[in-house]
Amino acid sequence: MKNTSFYILIILVFSLASCEKDNQNEIYDLGTEFLISNNGYSSLDTDVTFSIDNQQKNLSEIIMLDHGTIAITDGAGSITLTSSELGSHMIGADSSATYQFDATFDGKAIQRFASLTISNPMDLTSPYIWTLNDDDPPVIVETPVTVYQNNDVQYIKYSVSPERATVESTLIETKIGEDGTYTVVTGDYDITFDSLSIVGMDYSANDDVYFRFTSKNGSHEQVGVINFTVNQVVFPHTGGALLGVIDAATTQGFNLVTNEIVTDGTGDFAMTHVLLTSVGFESSNGTLFVSTDATVYDNNDVVEVKALFDAGTQESGFGNISEGNYFIYKTGDNYGVIKISAVYLTTDGLGDYFEFEYIY
């Protein structure tokens, strides 16, 4: 009895396995299959080719809905559609559509779908600088930068790479401000790949600068716009001190570069005073000063300060200063603006002082 039960169990196991295998074949074995691919399409290309791969090599034709019959030979076939045949909505980068493909095998209908997205062939790079790294051989590294109103040179770059088309022209234009008018950028620039140098000093602080690139291939065109702001160059530091009398023969000096009081005569300027009459300052090391106003101090604009210093009357010091006076200075290659915040005279002169703050 036990042996009979064992044989029955084995028969059931094989029967179930056989049924499961039959069920799997019924679900997945379609008898044929075909794959659809394309050779890419950008906004500057004029056609695209859909290719069919029938690996079982048992189909003779496939119908692309609305576009016709594709003959299949030895498992392969293709159809090329022009831009006008793709559909009126397939215009410009990022447009997309899904296309239907139908076949029949052994009386069974097979339906497949393929999507096509129009790529943007234009790549724009924001202002950057390039350097060589320490690899062997060195590799160019592009680092994004902020454009300041100075003489630093940065670059913007464009690249136009359709799938197959030939770029016929690229027009480069620029304007200042969103409401500005574009003008053509002249120069011997390549139509598919090049870079333009950008110098912040060519613009005013806070200008919004736009560059527009228009590439064409016949009636096809791709437009790209890049913009950046020219930032004001401001003084990074603030400082200040109270300068007074050390003794009857000596007053305190100040180093404007290191922001510290000095008493050894090495400062960029030192306090001067005339008993009961005036308090001022004087430089003995070549530091020069130009009288200015509160607006310049509040603007905190390095470019403006340098221009005003060059255009102003440069003095080695001022013998009579008052609270609310302002002075631009230059010591070596360093610029800054001084604000006099307090001036005090005493009857004996030993308590005379002035207080200032400055940006540098």
User: What is the DSSP annotation of 193-254?
Assistant: EEEEEEEGGGS-TT-EEEEEEEEEETTEEEEEEEEEE-B------EEEEEEEEEETTEE-EE
| pLDDT above 90: residue 198 | yes
- Report cis status (omega within 30 of 0) of the bond before 137: yes
Would you say residue 21 has pLDDT above 90? no
Q: Which residues pair with 343 in a beta bridge?
A: 354
List, in order, residues 6 or more apart from 278 with CB less than 8 Å away.
319, 320, 321, 345
Q: What pLDDT shows up at residue 11?
A: 39
pLDDT digits (tens, 9 = 90+) for 248-300: 889 999 999 999 999 988 999 999 999 999 999 999 999 999 999 999 999 99
Structure-block tokens of residue 86? 């793709």
**Contact assessment for residue 107 and residue 85, using Cβ atoms and an 8 Å cutoff:** no
Q: Is 175 a residue whose pLDDT tops 80?
A: yes
Does this model's pTM top 0.85? My answer is: no
| Comparison of pLDDT for 279 and 25, the residue scoring more | 279
Cα distance between residue 163 and residue 46, in whole Å: 10
Distance between CA atoms of 168 and 217, rounded to whole angstroms? Answer: 5
Residue 317, pLDDT above cutoff 60:
yes
Q: What is the pLDDT of residue 35?
A: 97
The single-letter code of the amino acid at 349 is: G
Q: Around Cβ 290, how many Cβ atoms within 10 Å?
A: 20
When pLDDT is cut at 50, 70 and 90, the band that residue 236 belongs to is very high
Q: How far is CA 26 from the centre of its chain?
A: 56
Position of tokens 């016929």? 168
Q: How far apart are CA 202 and CA 196, in angstroms?
A: 14
Q: How confident is the model at residue 1 (pLDDT cuts 50, 70, 90)?
A: very low
Mean pLDDT of 46-71: 97
Minimum mean pLDDT range among 55-64, 65-74, 129-138, 215-224: 129-138
Position 56 pLDDT exceeds 90: yes
Diameter of the chain by CA atoms? 133
pLDDT over threshold 80, residue 330: yes
CB 279 within 8 A of CB 214: no
pLDDT at residue 30, as a whole number = 57
Place 88 in a pLDDT band, splitting at 50, 70 and 90.
confident
What is the predicted pLDDT for the residue at 29? 52
Q: What pLDDT, on a 0 to 100 scale, did the predictor assign at position 184?
A: 98
Closest CA to 50 of 89, 32, 76: 76
Contact 124, 142 (CB under 8 A): no
Residue 356 scores a pLDDT above 50: yes
- Characterise 240 by phi-psi region: left (phi > 0), alpha (psi -120 to 50), beta (else): left
Provide the β-strand partners of residue 94. none
Is the pLDDT confidence value at 149 over 60? Answer: yes
Q: Which residues pair with 125 in a beta bridge?
A: 157
**pLDDT average, residue stretch 324-338:** 98
Res 334: pLDDT: 97
* Residue 21 or 127, more confident: 127
Hey, what are 268's tokens? Answer: 């960029």
Could you tell me whether strands 208-217 and 220-229 are parallel, antiparallel, or unpaired per DSSP bridges?
antiparallel
The whole-number average pLDDT for the span 90-106 is 94
pLDDT at 18 > cutoff 70: no
Question: What's the token pair of residue 73?
Answer: 């030979």
